Amino acid sequence: GASAGGEKIKVGIKFDQPGLGLKQGDKYTGLDVDVATYIAGKLGKTPAQIEWVQTQSAQREDMISSGQVKFIVATYSITDARKAKVSFAGPYLIAGQDLLVRADDTSITGPETLAGKKLCSVAGSTSAQKIKDKYPAVDLQNMSTYSECVAALVSKGVDALTTDDSILSGYASQDQYKGKVKVVGKPFTQERYGVGLKKGDTAFCTQVTDALKAMVSDGSWQKAVDANLGPAGYKPQTGNPPAPDACA
């Protein structure tokens, strides 16, 4: 028979972002995985009761509103446009959009130096939207995932990749890419990562917000940041840890 709390909970993460959400065989690691596991724990779920679901950038709002996942922790920036479709608890990290280029490239130093260059990003991301809005002269090529972009960068199919510095530093420190790529290191946006959940579910949003607050105050947040982002040398910018308070 069913035991109390024995049901699995479906949680959306990225599967291909080292340090944040990474699937290797049946192992899941990263800050987003740790944040999600902490939240699930406060909801009475053991790690074994979490079913990890891949939520690519362009799919997130739909996967929440259709109920395919209960919540999403996937480098998911809180924005007004998204708030029209989903609600967010958070923020739990503040990152910034940056550029990843080949290690020997000295010509690309910021988004204003990208005119005529091939820039890879991901459909449905704030990263791609920012380029479309502010740098229309750039040859933007959208893929489904950032890992596809890094592969294209190394094989010279594109000249740069843009998304959050937190994500880019993870790729730059991977064995297969070490010495081949570098983060430009001049973030040009603020990305406030939130936990996405069903629009208007204020009771659940409050539960998640309380879990995030507890994660910061009991030291688990700092531990998770150090363990997951530390190896890539990523240090969260000023303003971290944020006070998770938004439930909108």
Q: Which residues bind ligand GLU (CB under 6 A)?
A: 57, 74-77, 122, 125-127, 163-164, 191
Minimum gap (Å) between residue 111 Cβ and ligand GLU: 15
Is 13 or 45 the residue whose CB approaches ligand GLU more closely?
13
Is 44 or 239 the residue whose CB approaches ligand GLU more closely?
239
- Dihedral of CA atoms 87, 91, 92, 95 in degrees, nearest 10, equals 120
CA distances for 91 relative to 222, 224, 242, angstroms:
14, 15, 6
Minimum gap (Å) between residue 23 Cβ and ligand GLU: 15
Amino acid type, 68: Q
Is 125 or 209 the residue whose CB approaches ligand GLU more closely?
125
Neighbouring residues of 231: CB distance < 8 A, sequence distance ≥ 6: 19, 173
Q: Residue 193: which of 233, 140, 219, 229 has the closest Cα?
A: 229
Is 45 or 121 the residue whose CB approaches ligand GLU more closely?
121
Minimum gap (Å) between residue 162 Cβ and ligand GLU: 9
Euclidean distance between CA atoms 46 and 200, whole angstroms = 26
Minimum gap (Å) between residue 104 Cβ and ligand GLU: 26
